[in-house]
Amino acid sequence: MKKFLGTMMVALITTTTAFASTDSTLNIELNFDKSTDVNSVDSEYLKVVPENWRFPSSTNLGKQQKEKFVAALELLEEVMNHEEFKTMVLSYEKETGVREFQKNYLWRNSSDRLSNEDIYKIIMTGDEKMRDNTIGEMNLNSYVKVCRGVRKWGIWCRKVVGSTDPSNSKWIKLNWKFYAKFDTPKMINNLTHEWLHLLGFLHGSENMRKEVPYIVGQIAEEVARKILAERKQVFNKVD
């Protein structure tokens, strides 16, 4: 069986809290099983709904980064419904050659293991615990926190890119320290990562870089970069 499509080592700002946040020190490795029959799985459609969001824009840097954030929200629906996104989620495999994600279950239901196909369907169904009657939607409620040396948030401000409380809140909290430097694809990566927590994909105690939030977030970033590169090529040809 041909089982290696590609390997990408990417330095990624990631989630650091134990269950639902992002840490900046992990390397995300993407491996894919080239033989996966992705056509056997129906393509779903996920509508992206930016319900509420706040982004600091009182400075020139804030205004520039806000434009990138708006672009991320606008591009996200195309990314999530891109055929390459589907292909990469379905064909992802560990370096051992096993086509599965680390901690491949929702919440703490470790007895109910999920295949890559199951995970793709759950993502595209978009059933967030704290949002009723929004099946088929990726509902985004987010705000960027500007840390000002408050002790209560010291560790969070230094290390965490984004965090959620998926059992109690629909909100995604984002760290300005990192969003002041992110480009649009990196923002898409982190937004996707945090939103996946709202579906019940939490972090385990080991190999977090192989879990659904990290891997699928990185996949979303790669697809976003491809889309933007293709648009640039078309623009240059027309120009």
pLDDT at 78: 98
Is 20 in contact with 197 (CB distance < 8 Å)? Answer: yes
Distance CA 190, CA 161 (A): 8
Interval 92-112 mean pLDDT = 96
Task: Give the HSE-up count for residue 193: Cα atoms under 13 Å, Cβ half-sphere.
Answer: 36
Reported as type and span, the H/E element at residue 209 is none
Q: Which two tokens stand for residue 84?
A: 């390459």
For range 18-40, the mean pLDDT? 80
Write the CA distances from 24 to 13, 77, 88, 145, 205, integer angstroms. Answer: 4, 25, 23, 17, 17
Q: Does residue 186 carry a pLDDT above 90?
A: yes
Give SS3 for 160.
strand
Tell me which of 19 and 127 has the higher pLDDT. Answer: 127
- pLDDT digits 0-9 by tens, 48-94: 999 999 999 999 999 999 999 999 999 999 999 999 999 999 999 99
Q: Is residue 1 part of a domain?
A: no
Residue 114 within a domain: yes
| Residue 222 counted as domain residue | yes
CA-CA distance, 12 to 134, in Å (whole number)? 30
Q: Is residue 89 part of a domain?
A: yes
> What is the number of domains present in the chain?
1
- Does residue 212 form part of some domain? yes
SS3 of residue 186 by DSSP = helix
Residue 29 pLDDT? 87
Host domain of residue 164: 7-238
Axis-axis angle for helices 212-238, 60-80 (nearest 10): 100
Quickly tell me which residue has 């994909």 as its tokens. 201
Helix residue ranges, H only, 7-165: 60-80, 83-91, 116-125, 154-159
Global confidence as pTM? 0.89
Does any domain span residue 2?
no
Beta bridge partners of residue 138, listed in sequence order: 48
Of 3, 8, 66, 9, nearest to 33 by C-alpha is: 3
Residue 17 counted as domain residue: yes
pLDDT of res. 11: 32
3 state SS of 223 = helix
Q: In the predicted model, what is the mean pLDDT of residues 206-217?
A: 93
pLDDT in tens, 143-153: 999 988 656 66
Alpha helices (H) in 101-207, listed in sequence order? 116-125, 154-159, 176-179, 184-198
